[in-house]
Structure formats: structure tokens, C-alpha cells
């Protein structure tokens, strides 16, 4: 019985999602917990002039590099505690590890062997797994946003919902970009340590370029090469983000996914 390619993609995607259920749950619980625990401290920081004064005594580039500006305001509190580093970092790690496990991990362990021996194209198997990871990452982002909004209401943290949503989405897209990078690497060379090493190195390099290059006058203009800069330099918690920030992250992610899907057929499948 012949099966249309899109049907295979659907079946394979469902299989991928099934395998990701547990990891998605725990990442959601972890990230939701981090967000909830952090927001719970907002009442202690709210309008605390002492902290703002202490931070005000630090050099301006340091304050900006570590996202400590206006720490006593809702936007400053969220930026400094969550959205300058932790949440995007955890989204990136979630994306990278989910994709790594579904592609390079399953391939090198031999768990893909029987799937790839079925009447399905290798490209469809990999693409479906990547798309399942996109859905899983989307679910993790959604849970974070829901927890954030819920906790905001509980502790009385007042911030524009659309700005908050845009910030969470931009962080999620940063995670997607790194997940897509991990996918492209896994499609090229399915070694889990290789995939993890390169993707995590790219993530940290991006953060360092965005956060620390501003401390050096000659390096400062180069901040623009960092995906972290594309996602977060527009102060998304304080003003509406430009559409290109979303577009560039989505376009690059899509490009990496297409590239990976094209090259995966050109190499041998790793043996267990």
C-alpha cells in the first residue's frame, strides 16, 4: 500500500512527538518553575530604591551588559532575572538537547535503524523529527508564557502583555535557531558530542558577543552579528520589537532546517 509523502511525515512526526512527550513535560516544568520562583520575589524588589541605587553605582556598560538597568521596574526586573540570560539560554539548551537526542542520539544508538528501513525517505524521517522538536519547543515556550502571565497576576507585576509575549516569543525563536543549528550539524555529522559541542559553543559565543562586546569600544559594533542581539537588543520588554527581529530568526532557522534536510541523504547512516 503506497503512502503519500505528507502522510509519512505526519506519522513520523507523531512518532517523534510521542518520544518527546516526557522531555517536553520536564523542560516545561523546569522552566515554568524557574519563572514562577523568580516572579514570586517581585514584591521584595518592587520599587526598592536601595537596589536601584546600588546598581546605579556600577559602570553603565556593566549595567547594560548584564541587563541590570531599571532593576526596580517590572521590565528591568524581568530582563535582569529572566529574559536577558536564563530563559533564552534554557530555551536554547532545550532545543539543542531535544534535537540532538531525536537525530544524532537516536541514529548513533541504532534506534533509527528500523525506522529508516521502512518505506519512508530518510529526509522525511529527519524533517519530521525536527518539526516534532519545533512543536515541543513551542509547547515549552507556551507553558513559560502562561506561567509568567499567571504569576504576574498573582504577585501584581504589571507589564504589557503584548510586550511580554513578544519577548518570550523572541527568546523561543532564539532557542529555535540554535535547535535548527543542532539539526543541521546532526544531518551533516551525527555525533552527539559534536552536535552538542558546536551548538552550545555557538550559543555561548553569541551571548558573549552580545553582552560583553559592548564593554569594548572597538568590539561594540560587532554586537550586531550575534543572534542574541537580534532577539533582545531591541528592549522587547519596553517597546514593540521590529518585525525583522522575528523574521531573521525564523528565516535563518528555516534555512538551517532546509540545509540539514538536503544534506542528510548524502551521507551514510551511522551504525550502532
Partner 1 sequence: MQTDEVAVLEIEGLVKHYGRVEAVRGIDLSVRRGEVFGFLGPNGAGKSTTIRCLLGLLTPTAGRISAFGLDAAQFGVALRRRIAYVPGELRLPERISGRDFVAMVGALRGGFDRRRRDLLAERLRLDLARPVRELSTGNRRKLALLVAFLSDAELLVLDEPTSGLDPLMQREFLALLREARDRGATVFLSSHLLSEVQRAADRVAMLRAGRIIAAGTVEDLRRQARQRLEVWFTEGAPQADLSLVPGLAEQRVEGRRFTATLIGPVQPLLDVLARHAVASLLIQEPDLEEAFLDLYEAAA
Minimum CB separation of residue 271 from partner 1 in Å reads 7
Contacts of 97 (CB under 8 A, 6+ apart): 23, 196
Q: Tell me the C-alpha distance between 151 and 108, whole Å.
A: 42
9, 17, 19, 256: residue in contact with partner 1 (rule CB under 8 A): 19
272 forms part of the interface with partner 1 (CB under 8 A): yes
Q: What are phi and psi of 231, to 5 degrees?
A: -75, -40
Which CB, 121 or 248, lies closer to partner 1? 121
**Best CA proximity match to 190, nearest among 116, 241, 250:** 116
Give the single-character DSSP code of 157. Answer: -
**Residue 188 CA to its chain's centroid (Å):** 21
Which stretch in 112-120, 147-155, 195-203, 244-252 sits in contact with partner 1 by CB under 8 A?
Answer: 112-120
122 forms part of the interface with partner 1 (CB under 8 A): yes
131 forms part of the interface with partner 1 (CB under 8 A): no
116 forms part of the interface with partner 1 (CB under 8 A): yes
Minimum CB separation of residue 112 from partner 1 in Å reads 9
36, 48, 121, 212: residue in contact with partner 1 (rule CB under 8 A): 121
C-alpha cell at 3: 503512502
Q: Are 237 and 171 in contact (CB under 8 A)?
A: no
| Total of residues contacting partner 1 (CB under 8 A) | 29
109, 161, 193, 216: residue in contact with partner 1 (rule CB under 8 A): 109
Q: Tell me the C-alpha distance between 27 and 44, whole Å.
A: 27
Collapsing DSSP to helix, strand or coil, 182 comes out as helix
* 58-97 footprint of partner 1 as x/- string (CB under 8 A): ----------------------------------------
- Composition of the chain by helix, strand, coil, percent to 5: 80, 0, 20
189 forms part of the interface with partner 1 (CB under 8 A): no
Query: Where along the sequence are the contacts to partner 1 (CB under 8 A)?
Result: 1-3, 8, 11-12, 14-15, 18-19, 22, 109-111, 113-122, 267-269, 271-272
Amino acid at each position: 500500500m503506497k503512502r503519500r509523502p505528507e502522510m509519512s511525515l505526519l506519522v513520523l512526526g507523531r512518532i517523534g512527538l510521542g518520544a518527546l512527550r516526557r522531555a517536553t513535560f520536564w523542560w516545561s516544568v523546569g522552566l515554568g518553575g524557574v519563572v514562577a520562583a523568580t516572579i514570586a520575589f517581585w514584591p521584595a524588589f518592587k520599587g526598592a530604591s536601595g537596589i536601584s541605587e546600588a546598581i546605579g553605582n556600577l559602570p553603565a556598560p556593566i549595567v547594560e551588559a548584564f541587563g541590570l538597568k531599571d532593576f526596580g521596574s517590572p521590565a528591568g526586573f524581568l530582563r535582569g532575572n529572566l529574559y536577558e540570560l536564563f530563559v533564552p539560554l534554557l530555551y536554547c539548551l532545550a532545543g539543542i538537547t531535544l534535537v540532538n537526542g531525536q537525530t544524532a542520539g537516536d541514529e548513533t544508538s541504532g534506534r533509527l535503524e528500523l525506522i529508516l528501513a521502512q518505506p519512508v525517505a530518510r529526509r522525511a524521517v529527519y524533517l519530521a523529527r525536527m518539526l516534532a522538536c519545533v512543536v515541543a519547543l513551542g509547547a515549552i515556550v507556551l507553558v513559560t508564557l502562561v506561567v509568567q502571565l499567571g504569576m504576574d497576576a498573582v504577585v501584581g507585576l504589571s507589564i504589557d502583555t503584548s510586550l511580554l509575549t513578544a519577548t518570550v516569543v523572541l527568546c523561543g525563536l532564539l532557542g529555535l535557531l540554535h535547535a535548527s543549528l543542532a539539526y543541521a550539524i546532526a544531518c551533516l555529522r551525527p555525533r552527539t558530542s559534536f552536535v552538542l559541542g558546536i551548538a552550545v559553543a555557538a550559543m555561548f559565543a553569541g551571548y558573549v558577543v552580545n553582552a560583553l562586546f559592548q564593554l569594548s569600544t572597538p568590539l561594540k559594533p560587532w554586537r550586531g552579528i550575534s543572534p542574541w542581539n537580534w532577539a533582545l537588543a531591541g528592549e522587547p520588554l519596553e517597546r514593540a520589537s521590529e518585525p525583522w527581529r522575528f523574521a531573521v530568526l525564523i528565516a535563518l532557522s528555516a534555512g538551517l532546517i532546509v540545509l540539514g534536510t538536503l544534506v542528510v541523504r548524502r551521507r551514510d547512516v551511522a551504525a550502532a
